Amino acid sequence: MRCYKGSIAHIQFLLGIAIGIVITFFFSSMMSLQGSVVRLPPEHPHALGERRLAENSFDVHSHLHEHGQEHSHEDLDNLEDPHKVEFEDTHFHHDDESAAKRLSESTRVLCWIMTSPKTLEKKARHVKNTWGKRCNILLFFSSETNTTFPTIGLNVSEGRNHLTGKTIQAFKYIYDKYYNQADWFMKADDDTYVIVENLRYFLSGQNTSQPVYFGHRFKVIVKQGYYSGGAGYVLSKEALRRFGLYGNDTKRCRQDGGAEDAEIGKCLYNLGVSTGNSLDALGRTRFHCFNPETHLFGGFPPWYYKYDNDGAKKGTENISDYAISFHYIPAEKMYSLEFYIYHLRPYGIISQLQNLNNKPEVISVTPAAG
Ligand SMILES: *[C@@H]1O[C@H](CO)[C@@H](O)[C@H](O)[C@H]1NC(C)=O
Ligand SMILES: *[C@@H]1O[C@H](CO)[C@@H](O)[C@H](O)[C@H]1NC(C)=O
Ligand SMILES: *[C@@H]1O[C@H](CO)[C@@H](O)[C@H](O)[C@H]1NC(C)=O
Ligand SMILES: *[C@@H]1O[C@H](CO)[C@@H](O)[C@H](O)[C@H]1NC(C)=O
Ligand SMILES: *[C@@H]1O[C@H](CO)[C@@H](O)[C@H](O)[C@H]1NC(C)=O
């Protein structure tokens, strides 16, 4: 009985306390909510955050009200804030690659890399590990065959004086063996970095049946200009065909010696292959004969101001958002470029193609100057 009586008394006592707590919380929460909302003007930068806090305290208290349970302050602090952003950055982002995939089927690019036994492991290996794998076909040409790497050995001596011979032979080899397997044929050095998706994007607006080639244009030596060897240059199918059929004509094409890019420029000019315009719709550059820092901040060598066809411009605003190539990229930087371009993402920003007036980007081919 005592026990029973005692229990009744206890229940009544606890009930009284519970009701008291509930009423106290109910009123205090109503007041704190009103207080916050009234006190903070809506345009106040913290208004939203504080109102959320007030709403949360209201949620907590009404939760308590419904269940008549008493929570310690520790419990209240540990309750999950429903507005808290959960950082689940343990995952990898997933890019929608479908547009790039489609282009890789419709605009097939063969890339060939000029390398040498000395730079094979130091440089070419890193092209193979990074951007090279995005080409439809990737070939390495050297003065020695290496069946493991693999490289294709050409019948040339090593050294700066024989780069022309390497290029002449490489394009002939490609014409003989790969003419039907790609739509465009790009030459690059083993310290060139190429954003292959942007190369395809640019080329998808060009006609590979026309005798044309593209790259970073120099306006000297050849009437129609020629392309820097280091920035890489890309031949249309028709340009490759002419090269394959008539590139061995010593009257039109020097077979070795001289400066490789200028000699190839003269040769293609003599074969009726034009230099096309590769600037974007805003006049910004896509192919670059220096590294990104030089094109961003300047500090070009004096000769560049005489050579560059497009005003030797510098800065973010003068470089295309869809830039294609950079030169003088040491091994480690190939991997950092991979990191910046294909891995690092600013959260919540989704990139979309957008042009002036929302019109599709217009890329024109400049006819040969003479
Ligand atoms: C051939 O390539 C393999 C694989 O990259 C490399 O380990 C080897 O040193 C190369 N051989 C020569 C003679 O350069
Ligand atoms: C390699 O080049 C040399 C001189 O340029 C030439 O005499 C020789 O016939 C060439 N060999 C092959 C296999 O083409
Ligand atoms: C591409 O060029 C070829 C050769 O000049 C021409 O016959 C063809 O109509 C062109 N195609 C387009 C889509 O302009
Ligand atoms: C040049 O190449 C073409 C096509 O392969 C061939 O028919 C021709 O005989 C070659 N000319 C010389 C001089 O080697
Ligand atoms: C782009 O190039 C033009 C011409 O050289 C120059 O006036 C302008 O300052 C450059 N833009 C930037 C952002 O450097």
The confidence score (pLDDT) of residue 292 equals 96
Is residue 79 in some structural domain? no
Contacts of 322 (CB under 8 A, 6+ apart): 195, 198, 201, 202, 280, 286
Residue in 171, 241, 248 to alter for ligand 4 test, most ligand atoms within 8 A of Cβ: 248
Is residue 259 in some structural domain? yes
Is residue 5 in some structural domain? no
How far is Cα 253 from Cα 59, in angstroms, rounded to an integer?
82
Is residue 36 in some structural domain? no
Domain span at 268: 97-342
Is residue 207 in some structural domain? yes
Q: Closest residue (by CA) to atom 6 of ligand 4? A: 245
The confidence score (pLDDT) of residue 317 equals 95
Is residue 113 in some structural domain? yes
Q: Closest residue (by CA) to atom 14 of ligand 1? A: 117
Please give the tally of structural domains in the chain.
Answer: 1
Closest C-alpha among 267, 283, 259, 257 to residue 235: 267
Angle separating helix axes 237-246 and 163-178, nearest 10 degrees: 110
Q: How far is the CA of 357 from the centre of ligand 5 (A)?
A: 23
Q: How far is the CA of 206 from the centre of ligand 3 (A)?
A: 10
pLDDT in tens, the chain (370 residues): 344 444 444 545 444 555 545 444 444 444 444 433 334 333 443 433 333 433 343 343 444 444 444 445 555 555 666 676 666 666 677 888 999 999 999 999 999 999 999 999 999 999 999 999 999 999 999 999 999 999 999 988 887 777 888 899 999 999 999 999 999 999 999 999 999 999 999 999 999 999 999 999 999 888 999 898 899 999 999 999 999 999 898 898 988 877 888 889 999 999 999 999 999 999 999 999 999 999 999 999 999 999 889 888 999 999 999 999 999 999 999 999 999 999 998 888 887 776 555 454 444 444 433 3
Q: What is the CATH number of the domain that holds 151?
A: 3.90.550
Q: How far is the CA of 236 from the centre of ligand 3 (A)?
A: 12
273 touches 208 (CB < 8 A): no
Q: Closest residue (by CA) to atom 8 of ligand 3? A: 209
Is residue 44 in some structural domain? no
How far is Cα 231 from Cα 193, in angstroms, rounded to an integer?
8
Is residue 105 in some structural domain? yes
